[in-house]
A and B are shown apart, each in its own frame.
Chain A
Amino acid sequence: MLYFSTWKTVAVLALCALGILFALPNVLPQSVRDKYPSWFPARTVVLGLDLQGGSQLLLEVDGEALRRSRQIALQEDVRRVLREARIGTTSIQLNGNTVSATLRDPAQKVLALEKLRTLATPVGTTLFGGSGPVEVDISSPSDRVVAATLTEAALQARIRAAVDQSLQIVDRRVNELGTVEPSIQREGADRILLQVPGLQDPQRLKDLLGQTAKLEFRLVDLSMPAEQAAAGRPPEGTEVLQEDRGGGQTTPILVERRVLVSGEDLTDAQAGFSSQTNEPIVNFKFNTKGARAFGEVTQANVGKPFAIVLDNKVISAPRINEPITGGQGQISGNFTVQSANDLAVLLRAGALPAPLTVIEERTVGPGLGQDSIDAGTRATWYAALFVVVFMFATYGVFGFFANIALAIHVIFIFALMSLLGATLTLPGIAGIVLTIGTAVDSNVLIYERIREEYRAGRNMVSAIDAGFRHAFAVIFDSNSTMAIAAIILFMLGSGPVRGFAVVFLLGILTTVITAVTMTRMMIAVWYRRTRPQTMPF
């Protein structure tokens, strides 16, 4: 029956109105949108970085580094525990995730195992109060050997936690730079996708993110010249680090391994200038715990130098002239204004739990983005023009209906994308152009079927009705297969390609609605109004 009930007509028209309402902000200037009442849809389609210009970095948390540092820490722990329990060993070896200690006296094995078990604490707690995976498995491969093995589950939990923490720190560091609306997302298990619209040269950003920024205050060991220690064996509990002398020059310096106070105890850091030398410095403040520890150490070591260590490099090693008990201090070094500023940013944001590597970088200049938008818009209009003219020339008034449905289809794509906050990319624009070509397919299927039925001798109403009815199965099947391909593309694609998949998928969805329901309504109204005698095509 070529009849469209009133409520159905109203529903379709309301849907169109909604579509226009949601798509409208995209063509209005910001000033008009600002005047919208708050409940009014004012969201626009988000432009991808390839269209608006900007920089994108894919960062990877170095899980291997984390793993290595855990392995070394475990070895240290085993050594410490056994020494404290006065258990003699002939060797303590690290092999993969396992530390095995060979005991001098097999009789001490039970004691050794018992002591090692203190290391087997669970990592964190789960959401429901239960404990997380056990960090270390203790075993005894033979009667002389005890072994502690890091469990893979615990390592994975640590890497996950490190990624979470890195996300926060990256967020803080990037925001400290004052960049506009950066987007920071987790990607996969151990990656972070950072997008900064408008950024032209991400080098400074990369410099900032490339440092773990682990700050430590340690005492300098003066018992032996650093050169001698570097050539031979540094005294127990010390190591040789490089001190920055400016201009790319470094000299070795012997420092204690023991960390007096670390960057975790900082509450603030600001770049400034030294009142004496007028050189750039970084002023910092400790929290109560840090202030107390720092005060005690400086009191006990007046006259001796201490080292300010950042990521295992000594920035400077000033002499302690008097006890520093106020919980405040300054770091001087060979800073420029910018490097002092960067260090302050890094210290405020905190240290990364593991190094970050940039594994992918994409930067698009604003010129290219605008050119892409212009070209994409032009192509869209031309495609629409070609298709609209062609449809009208083939199907006459029915083609005209299909063209209206096509226009609504494009409006719907924009409305849905605005509503979902989806990103429009350059391939996405290509997707829109492509769907202009394919969207009319449903109409073509219907019209050709109507024509066939009509030529087979049905009257107009019955032919139109049969056309819509018969064409539905094929429209459904052909669009479903297209949708399957689009969904898979969406799942595996990233960035621009995903933008294409989104458009394509939405396009398939809306075309079914516009081509099937809307054209049908238009044809029903047209038929009732004009009562034509013959098929117009």
Chain B
Amino acid sequence: MRLIRLFPDDSKFRFVRWRVLSYPFSAAISVMTIVLFVTMGLNFGIDFTGGTLIEIQAKTGKADPGVVRALAQSFEVGDVEVQEIGSAGDISVRFRTQPGGEAAQSALVQRARAAFEKDYNIRRVETVGPRVSGELVQSGTLGVVLAIFAVMAYLWFRFELQFAIGAIIGTMHDIVLTLGFFVITREEFNMTSIAAILTIVGYSLNETVVVFDRTRELLRKYKNLPTPELLDLSINSTMSRTVMTATTTALSLLALVLFGGQAIQGFANVMLFGVVICTYSAIFVSSPMLIYLGVKTSARAAADDKAEAAAKAAAISRRPA
């Protein structure tokens, strides 16, 4: 039986050279994303904005968003967002937080239930108060920041500071681009999105760590290899694994996108995007960083010290008596 090889053996592709392209590209796209993020903002879900979301399904199986919108607007409760989801006659209706506290939100839900109940099944009702949504923003941001610091500390402990910095730069790059994905696709940003971002953080580091682990190993083996070549060797020798894992992860996410249903599709889409970005950044962003940060593991430093000492000793011994 012939088995699949996605990546050729013994490749000598000079990956880090591509940084002359990948760095300007990544920098430009990151800046663009940040600009878009500031100007357009994210499409926050009710987890973060507060408000009420009602998901209904037409009993006939065919829903008319226009009718639903007209009905919802007849409540006169300010902006109403009506969106068709999927093809089975599902519609989501989103209302803003009503002035008047809890009672006002309850009244709105009661009214909407009464109005929709006849022709639609009520699939989901969510109301999030403004205090809760504010806290969710806080804890979400805190989580991502905390994760970055915790992982950085871990990598510093297990590798060297330069490796930790390189990996974190790559991870931040991935977070920024993922946020860009949310901004551009207008995908709703909710608590599950925070979960997606943290998973991407994990995956991004996972990818980088695999390459760096090899760099760490090769550093001990080839003490005098210039850093770019060392990195190329690390990337090439881990490349077949990188491609394999990216493929299996992408395959399972693809199953989620295709069959996972409406509610989880957003998460799956973002993750799929994340897998691609993380694979790219591990190779073309994090790894070349080490060229600038300078790799000097303690092993290598010790070796250098020893060489220096030996040179000194030689110099001393050569000194004429």
Contacts and interface: CB of A to CB of B under 8 A. Distances in A.
A371 B253 contact: no
A434 B191 contact: no
A372 to B, nearest CB: 6
Contact of B248 (A363, A371, A441, A484): A441
B42 interface: no
A363 B128 CA distance: 12
A203 B106 contact: yes
> Which label, helix, strand, loop or mixed, suits the secondary structure of the B interface?
helix
Contacts of A336: none
B298 interface: no
Interface in A184-211: 200-201, 203, 206, 210
A485 B205 contact: yes
* Residue among A60, A372, A386 with most chain B CB within 10 A: A386
A393 B244 CA distance: 12
A362 B53 CA distance: 9
A365 to B, nearest CB: 5
A481 B155 contact: yes
* Residue among A360, A362, A430 with most chain B CB within 10 A: A430
Contacts of A455: 9-10
Interface string A74-102: 00000000000000000000000000000
A323 interface: no
A437 interface: yes
B244 A394 contact: yes
B248 A390 contact: yes
B264 interface: yes
Contacts of A200: 122
B3 A395 contact: yes
Contacts of B140: 492
Given A394-B4, A484-B147, A444 B132 contact: no
B11 interface: no
Contact of B259 (A375, A452, A473, A477): A375
Nearest to B101: A357
A380 B127 CA distance: 30
Interface string B183-201: 0000000011011001101
B117 to A, nearest CB: 10
B290 to A, nearest CB: 16
**Chain A interface extent, by class:** 35 or more
Interface in A339-377: 357-365, 367-368, 371-372, 374-376
B120 to A, nearest CB: 11
Interface stretch (B17-25, B206-214, B301-309): B206-214
A479 B259 CA distance: 28
Interface stretch (A13-21, A327-335, A497-505): A497-505
Contacts of B36: none
Contacts of A504: 199
Contact of A365 (B105, B124, B209, B259): B124
A438 interface: yes
B197 to A, nearest CB: 9
A448 B241 contact: yes
B93 interface: no
Contacts, number: 242
**Chain B interface extent, by class:** 35 or more
Contact of B252 (A358, A437, A474): A437
A379 B106 contact: no
Nearest to A394: B4
A58 interface: yes
B202 A482 contact: yes
B118 to A, nearest CB: 15
B260 A433 contact: yes
A374 B248 CA distance: 23
Interface string A89-121: 000000000000000000000000000000000
A496 B192 contact: yes
A374 B126 CA distance: 22
Contacts of B57: 367
Interface in A366-410: 367-368, 371-372, 374-376, 378-380, 382-383, 385-387, 390-391, 393-396
Contacts of B237: 452
B71 interface: no
Given A375-B264, A379-B255, A361 B192 contact: no
14 contacts: A50-B263, A357-B129, A358-B106, A362-B125, A368-B55, A375-B260, A383-B251, A385-B255, A429-B260, A434-B271, A438-B245, A441-B245, A492-B139, A537-B3
The 8 closest A-B pairs by CB, nearest first: A375-B261, A437-B252, A485-B202, A383-B252, A383-B255, A437-B249, A382-B255, A359-B129
Given A437-B252, A452-B237, A488-B146, 18 more contacts: A357-B101, A359-B131, A359-B132, A361-B109, A362-B124, A367-B57, A372-B261, A375-B259, A379-B256, A379-B258, A394-B3, A441-B248, A478-B205, A484-B151, A485-B147, A491-B143, A493-B191, A494-B191
